[in-house]
């Protein structure tokens, strides 16, 4: 075998194996981290869950509230998926040392060859659309400075992450066209007909007179550039907000189906209320395990695994924050920051476990304060559910806020002075008012 081809196969095999190994390691750590959350069985109404996943994760249904942004986003998304088809051929070529192995295998079968050419043309047209969409997204973020894309929590790495992926998109599209245009030019010089790729064929007409060696090096740069770009993206994805490309699917499948505003009850509190309302029957129905239950969540391990999956799936788009009445009226609360802080703390806990032979060693921190979510943020929430309604992938920041607030109030007795009177009334009168239940309707009798 030609030593050049042998070298290419060896390098290709090495790079892909190493990349897949690191991706596997990171995926395993993410799965382990999500499982650190409190157990919760979510297995009801599978039909509705499957439909949600298809419409909301795959069809991006909730994005269509703003059709223009939705179409641009959809172009990037479809281009990303369809481009992977061409990657299949790149992988086979890389492992076998061939060039456009699929094309040459089906070259003599007209129908299949037509299908191949249509496929590559679709990739190229979508890539141009994605290129335009990417430029618009870059300018929205950096020139027009759309407010929700330039808030306080999007400084530093979060801001760079968002821009990096857009530049990466441009890089990949450049590689695809470099590869296809130079290849078309060489094929045209050899056969006088080209492959039939419309857009790269147009570029090929301008460059086909370049020396063959130049075209060949340029083609290899595009081919290797595309491959390394895709593998680099695979390695980068699990540490980026773009993990939502994958996690949006399980996240929409396992999303809560209860009506918004319906809060989950704490068993211990339910027991207390039953005792107050009807002491005779409540004792019989008491769940003995409820005694040991923790009130709310202080750290990520106390949250449900679904809330941790939410945090890992967050795209940091800020639609929740833009709709949050607390944020709009100048409060510190931003539901997007709640999700980002939860993910950052979860990553910190994961690193702690990795550094201590698989066991979490108390680091004296928690998700409340310690540079994460402040008491002031938690108190600002009106529990209106606007953030839940707005999220394009069915993330529920309110679940986290409620659990943290429960811990603040029930475990730490940390509530604003003005709430304490109401709590005392509920405890004494089973109602938030300062008179007993029996006197509730007195106002009507006085009339």
Interface residues with ligand SF4 (CB under 6 A) are 314-320, 323-326, 333, 335-336, 339, 381-387, 390-391, 393, 395, 397-398, 401
Contact in structure between 124 and 306 (CB atoms under 8 Å): no
- In angstroms, give the least distance from the CB of 293 to ligand SF4: 24
For the bound state, the minimum distance from the C-beta of residue 392 to ligand SF4, rounded and expressed in Å, comes to 6
- Min dist CB 334 to ligand SF4, Å, is 8
Phi and psi angles of residue 146, each rounded to the nearest 5 degrees, phi first:
-55, 130
Q: Which is nearer to ligand SF4, 36 or 317 (CB)?
A: 317
86 vs 229: CA distance, rounded Å: 14
Minimum CB distance to ligand SF4 smaller for 186 or for 326: 326
Task: Find the shortest distance in angstroms from Cβ 253 to ligand SF4.
Answer: 16
Kindly state the smallest distance separating residue 378's Cβ from ligand SF4, in Å: 9
Could you tell me the maximum CA-CA distance found in the chain, to the nearest angstrom? 102
Residue 200 or 252: which CB sits closer to ligand SF4? 252
CA distances from 438 to 90, 91, 258, 349, 447 (A): 77, 76, 33, 50, 17
Q: Which is nearer to ligand SF4, 353 or 384 (CB)?
A: 384
At its nearest, how many Å lie between ligand SF4 and the CB of residue 308?
13
| Nearest to ligand SF4 of 162, 230 (CB atom) | 162
Closest to ligand SF4 by CB, 89 or 390: 390
Q: Which is nearer to ligand SF4, 302 or 341 (CB)?
A: 341
In the complex, the smallest distance separating the C-beta of residue 364 from ligand SF4, rounded to whole angstroms, is 28
In the complex, least distance from residue 414 CB atom to ligand SF4, rounded to whole angstroms = 18
Closer CB to ligand SF4, residue 265 or residue 383?
Answer: 383
């Amino acid at each position: 075998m030609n030593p050049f081809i042998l070298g290419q196969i060896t390098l290709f095999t090495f790079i892909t194996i190493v990349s897949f190994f690191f991706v596997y390691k990171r995926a395993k750590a993410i799965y382990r981290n999500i499982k650190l959350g409190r157990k919760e069985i979510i297995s009801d109404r599978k039909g509705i869950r499957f439909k949600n996943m298809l419409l909301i994760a795959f069809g991006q249904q909730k994005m269509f509230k703003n059709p223009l942004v939705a179409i641009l986003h959809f172009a990037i998304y479809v281009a990303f998926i369809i481009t992977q088809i061409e990657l299949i051929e790149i992988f086979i070529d890389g492992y076998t040392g061939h060039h456009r192995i699929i094309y040459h295998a089906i070259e003599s079968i007209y129908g299949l060859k037509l299908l191949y050419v249509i496929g590559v043309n679709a990739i190229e047209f979508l890539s141009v659309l994605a290129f335009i969409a990417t430029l618009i997204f870059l300018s929205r973020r950096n020139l027009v400075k759309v407010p929700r894309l330039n808030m306080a929590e999007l400084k530093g790495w979060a801001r760079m992450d968002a821009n990096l992926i857009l530049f990466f998109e441009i890089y990949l599209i450049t590689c695809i066209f470099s590869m296809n245009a130079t290849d078309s030019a060489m094929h045209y010089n050899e056969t006088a007909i080209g492959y039939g790729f419309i857009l790269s064929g147009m570029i090929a007409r301008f460059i086909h007179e370049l020396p063959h060696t130049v075209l060949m090096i340029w083609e290899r740069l595009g081919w290797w550039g595309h491959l390394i770009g895709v593998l680099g993206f695979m390695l980068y994805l699990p540490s980026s907000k773009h993990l939502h490309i994958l996690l949006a699917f399980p996240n929409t499948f396992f999303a809560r189906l209860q009506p918004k505003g319906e809060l989950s009850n704490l068993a211990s509190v339910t027991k207390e209320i039953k005792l107050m309302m009807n002491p005779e029957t409540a004792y019989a129905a008491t769940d003995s395990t409820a005694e040991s239950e923790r009130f709310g969540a202080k750290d990520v391990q106390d949250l449900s695994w679904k809330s941790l999956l939410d945090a890992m799936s967050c795209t940091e788009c800020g639609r929740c924050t833009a709709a949050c009445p607390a944020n709009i009226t100048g409060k510190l609360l931003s539901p997007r920051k709640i999700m980002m802080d939860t993910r950052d703390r979860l990553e910190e806990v994961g690193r702690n476990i990795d550094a201590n032979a698989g066991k979490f060693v108390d680091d004296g921190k928690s998700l409340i304060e310690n540079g994460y979510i402040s008491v002031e943020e938690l108190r600002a929430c009106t529990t209106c559910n606007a953030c839940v309604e707005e999220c394009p992938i069915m993330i529920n920041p309110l679940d986290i806020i409620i659990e943290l607030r429960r811990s603040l109030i029930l475990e730490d007795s940390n509530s604003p002075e003005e709430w304490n009177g109401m709590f005392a009334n509920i405890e004494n009168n089973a109602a938030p008012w300062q008179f007993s239940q029996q006197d509730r309707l007195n106002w009507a009798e006085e009339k």
